[in-house]
Amino acid sequence: MLEAPDQGDLNLTIRIRSQQEEKNPDNNSRNITIRVIDKEGRVLILADAPHPDIAAIRLALGGVEQIQTESFIISDFPGNLEDYSLLILHGLPSSNHSMTSLMEQIAERRIPVLFILNQATNPQLFNRLETGCQIVNPRLAPEEAQGHLNRSFNLFTLPEDFPSHLAAWPPLELPYQTFALSADGQILMTQIIRRIEMMDPLMMITSAGGAKYGVIAGTGIWRWRLFEFVEFGSHVYFDDLLSRITQFLLADEQEERFKIILPDELYEYNPIRVTGYLRNRSMESINTPDINLSIQDSAGNEFSYLMGRQGEHYQLDLKGLRAGLYQLTAQTDYDSQHLEFKGDMAVSAFSPEGTHAVADHLALKRLTHSKNGSYLTIDEPEKIVTFTKELSGKEPAYRLETSWFDPISLGWLLPLLVLFLSLEWFLRRWFGTR
């Protein structure tokens, strides 16, 4: 058991002891940085009716030591939110439970809320909450939609191979079609309906009135956790997704008015994208003042940068860093205050040939799932024969495309016609006179 500091960054190097006959020891070590936050959170899950999503959420958050969860059906809840730092509302507010008094407590104490929408959710009551997200167009009937990761989302990071796991998860059932987000809102996932990628959000993070909110636009996340285990043998990626959303909503915004976010994995010579956030006293994102960033390596060499502006935040791509440990310091002056953020970076050596010396069958399996294919091994000759026969029996796919163009747009055509006409006139005159 490792003894972590009370608060701050913990740099770790994980090594596996090499065997004598091992020819490739390059992939036996990895550098990681863990940020230790001295804070615990109590999460209250309220539901309009019993649902397997509730059990999936509790199981996902049960492995996070700093988070305690409790769940109630709304009709059985005593009604006091004083001891809770985050609410998860499943199918609430509904026509049967408007939650007027609870919503007053949420607004007064600025408690962050994660909404999971279903058919019981009342869109009029939801829109009155002023969460930075409005339901614009209810569906006539629920629609099934898979998730597609929005690469521009930058409030927190997810593993690089998370999209391949997301592609294997089944669709959620969505009762509402389109949403309107505030300027501070960000879309974590968009919808895929009948294999068509839509711009409508499936999962989003918003903020309003100094509080943060998350919205999952459909139900059935319990099947995500189930399929993650069936396809990949563990619940890690689903549990990690719920954990990161929860921890982001639990984070104290007053302590994070100024923060810097780094990718999970940092490799030498690869561009490292640094994202900076600055908020005013109303917790609105701004990027008016300059942010100065400095990095110091283990030899004491210091490198200074000025972060660029991207949308409502800051962004900088660090290039050419060698493997090692670095100390990062970001500073800015705003509203007569000097704000400073300090952290550590552990940059690992990059050797893809040495790290991946054999075929990555897990990646191949994820690829087949994302393309609706079949993953077969050499130990399954009967399935290979059957699959090949099915492919050969299918009719070839073709389509007819028709395009039109205006010959007058072909500038070279006129000189060519003039040339031929002139040649014809010349030949006629020449042979006609001889």
Instruction: Please indicate, yes or no, whether residues 263 and 319 belong to a single structural domain of this protein.
Output: yes
Q: Is residue 315 part of a domain?
A: yes
Instruction: Please indicate, yes or no, whether residues 163 and 287 belong to a single structural domain of this protein.
Output: no
Range of the domain at 262: 254-347
Q: Is residue 212 part of a domain?
A: yes
pLDDT at 191 exceeding the cut of 90 = yes
Tens-place pLDDT, residues 340-364: 998 888 888 876 655 555 667 777 7
Tens-place pLDDT, residues 49-59: 999 999 999 99
Q: What is the pLDDT of residue 357?
A: 59
Q: Is residue 410 part of a domain?
A: no
Number of independent structural domains in the chain: 3
Instruction: Please indicate, yes or no, whether residues 339 and 374 belong to a single structural domain of this protein.
Output: no
Name, of 63-67, 329-333, 378-382, 428-432, the range with top average pLDDT: 329-333
Instruction: Please indicate, yes or no, whether residues 171 and 264 belong to a single structural domain of this protein.
Output: no
Q: Is residue 149 part of a domain?
A: yes
Instruction: Please indicate, yes or no, whether residues 261 and 246 belong to a single structural domain of this protein.
Output: no
Task: With CA atoms as reference, report the closest residue to 238 among 219, 225, 252.
Answer: 225
pLDDT band at 172 (very low <50, low <70, confident <90, very high): very high
Map residue 53 onto helix, strand or coil: helix
Instruction: Please indicate, yes or no, whether residues 179 and 94 belong to a single structural domain of this protein.
Output: yes
pLDDT at 8 exceeding the cut of 60 = no
Q: What is the pLDDT of residue 246?
A: 94
pLDDT band at 71 (very low <50, low <70, confident <90, very high): very high
Chain position carrying tokens 């109303």: 282
pLDDT band at 237 (very low <50, low <70, confident <90, very high): very high
Contact call for residues 71 and 234 (beta carbons, < 8 A): no
pLDDT at 289 exceeding the cut of 80 = yes
Instruction: Please indicate, yes or no, whether residues 124 and 217 belong to a single structural domain of this protein.
Output: yes
CATH number at residue 318: 2.60.40.10
Q: Is residue 308 part of a domain?
A: yes
Strands (E), 270-428: 272-279, 285-286, 292-297, 302-306, 308-310, 313-318, 324-334, 337-347
Q: Is residue 433 part of a domain?
A: no
pLDDT band at 264 (very low <50, low <70, confident <90, very high): confident
Instruction: Please indicate, yes or no, whether residues 60 and 143 belong to a single structural domain of this protein.
Output: yes
Q: Do strands 324-334 and 313-318 pair parallel, antiparallel, or not at all (unpaired)?
A: unpaired
- Residue 259 amino acid letter: K
Q: Is residue 4 part of a domain?
A: no
pLDDT band at 221 (very low <50, low <70, confident <90, very high): very high
Tens-place pLDDT, residues 409-432: 677 888 888 899 999 888 888 887
Tens-place pLDDT, residues 307-334: 999 888 899 999 889 888 899 999 999 8
Q: Is residue 26 part of a domain?
A: no
CATH number at residue 105: 3.40.50.880
Tens-place pLDDT, residues 76-114: 998 889 889 999 999 999 999 999 999 999 988 889 999
Indicate the burial class of 2 (C-beta count within 10 angstroms; 0-12, 13-18, 19 or more): exposed
Instruction: Please indicate, yes or no, whether residues 155 and 303 belong to a single structural domain of this protein.
Output: no
Contact call for residues 179 and 216 (beta carbons, < 8 A): no
Q: What is the pLDDT of residue 255?
A: 57
pLDDT at 118 exceeding the cut of 90 = yes
Instruction: Please indicate, yes or no, whether residues 213 and 131 belong to a single structural domain of this protein.
Output: yes
Cα–Cα distance between 351 and 229 in angstroms, integer?
A: 30
Instruction: Please indicate, yes or no, whether residues 117 and 193 belong to a single structural domain of this protein.
Output: yes
Q: What is the pLDDT of residue 397?
A: 61
Instruction: Please indicate, yes or no, whether residues 368 and 290 belong to a single structural domain of this protein.
Output: no
